[in-house]
A = this chain, B = another copy of it.
Amino acid sequence: MTDEVRMVDMTLRDGMHAVDHQFTPEEMADVAAALDAANMDVVEVSHGDGMGGSSINYGFAAADTEEYLDAVVPELNDTELSVLLLPGIGTVEEIDMAIDRGADICRVATHVTEADISEDHFTYVKDRGLEANGLLMLSHMAEPERILHEAELMQEYGADAVYVMDSAGALLPSDVRDRVGLLADELDIEVGYHAHNNLGLGIGNTLAALDAGATTVDGCLRGLGAGSGNAQIEVLVGVLDKAGYDINPDFFGVMDAAEDVLVPMISDDEMPELDNDSLMLGYAGVYSSFLRHTRRVGEKYDIDPREILVELGEMEVVGGQEDLITDVAARLAEDRDAGTAAEAASDD
């Protein structure tokens, strides 16, 4: 365990999901200025799904990444600027654009078992002299040893840090310790952790990650993010300060950024909420894109959509496999009807 922690604010990237990617460049500038004033280490700015995400598939953002970066960069003095790239969504053109505008860090994210698609991107980012961080998404879907293998690939490609991303908010503190602890023991680079709050463990899991050897952690003001959101970063600052970690952000300053700057921009509906939907996604370990379809199919087959989600979670479905929902519902309905028939028979 090291005591120095780097804190990365995701309000202007992961938080974009909560506002349907509709922050204006001016709003981003205001949030960035408040975070810079509060000594935040890093702010990340991008479409919620990374650079190039603004599209019919992922939702159009209110402005181009260029406009966002142009608005934010003048507000940053000591705070570093990070951008996100998902191979397949963003390209090297976007990396160039971000570097030209002053990005300090490029984070490259892949599914937890697909680090091998990121080699070219890491090579490119490092060749251009930037810090490169690797993100392994949906990390509840792989065992610690497999995650280590993928993280070692990213390290080989040149990553300066690798993050365990709990994208579905499905990990328990013991799961976090196992994953982060192994990476911290075996890698030569920094290990990071990124929480979602679906199981109410945004802060608890981040503490577990730090205890297991992570040295860089993500969060958002007010926890802003899809569904139940991310680790609430002003809370995290207070907790890390209280726990004796060596951090740069100023507690009161980050609190002010949350309540005086961000909150007035956000409607009540956009605020993260730990309701039954987000809880079920975390419990089942399923990505939020399944929620709406599952409800519709559940109604058709008269099956509790939560049962379908649990089944899907056990099958470890990923985005793009939404067609499996109907198969699962049909099977559950068949099991139920068979059960009812057997009961009726035994009643005779």
Point out residues on A near B: beta carbons under 8 Å. 172-174, 199-205, 207-208, 223, 231-232, 234-236, 238-239, 241-243, 251-252, 255, 258-259, 268, 274-276, 279-280, 282-283, 304, 306
Contacts and interface: CB of A to CB of B under 8 A. Distances in A.
A238 B279 contact: yes
Contact of A258 (B231, B276, B280): B276
A279 B252 CA distance: 11
Contact of A203 (B200, B223, B236, B252): B200
Contacts of A231: 200
Contacts of A172: 207, 239, 242-243
A235 B304 contact: no
A238, A258, A282: most-surrounded residue (chain B CB, <10 A) = A238
20 contacts: A172-B243, A174-B243, A199-B239, A199-B242, A200-B203, A200-B204, A200-B231, A200-B235, A200-B236, A200-B239, A201-B203, A203-B204, A204-B208, A223-B274, A232-B274, A234-B276, A235-B274, A242-B283, A258-B276, A259-B276
A239 B276 contact: no
Contacts of A201: 203-204, 207, 239
A240 to B, nearest CB: 10
A279 B274 CA distance: 18
Contacts of A207: 172-173, 201, 204
A276 B255 contact: yes
Nearest to A258: B276
Contacts of A258: 276
A234 B173 contact: no
A306 B243 contact: no
A258 B276 CA distance: 8
A199 B236 CA distance: 8
A259 B280 CA distance: 13
Contacts of A275: 259
A204 B199 CA distance: 9
Given A199-B203, A204-B207, A268-B268, 7 more contacts: A173-B208, A199-B235, A200-B236, A201-B203, A203-B204, A204-B208, A238-B282
A173 B282 CA distance: 21
Contact of A283 (B173, B251, B274): B251
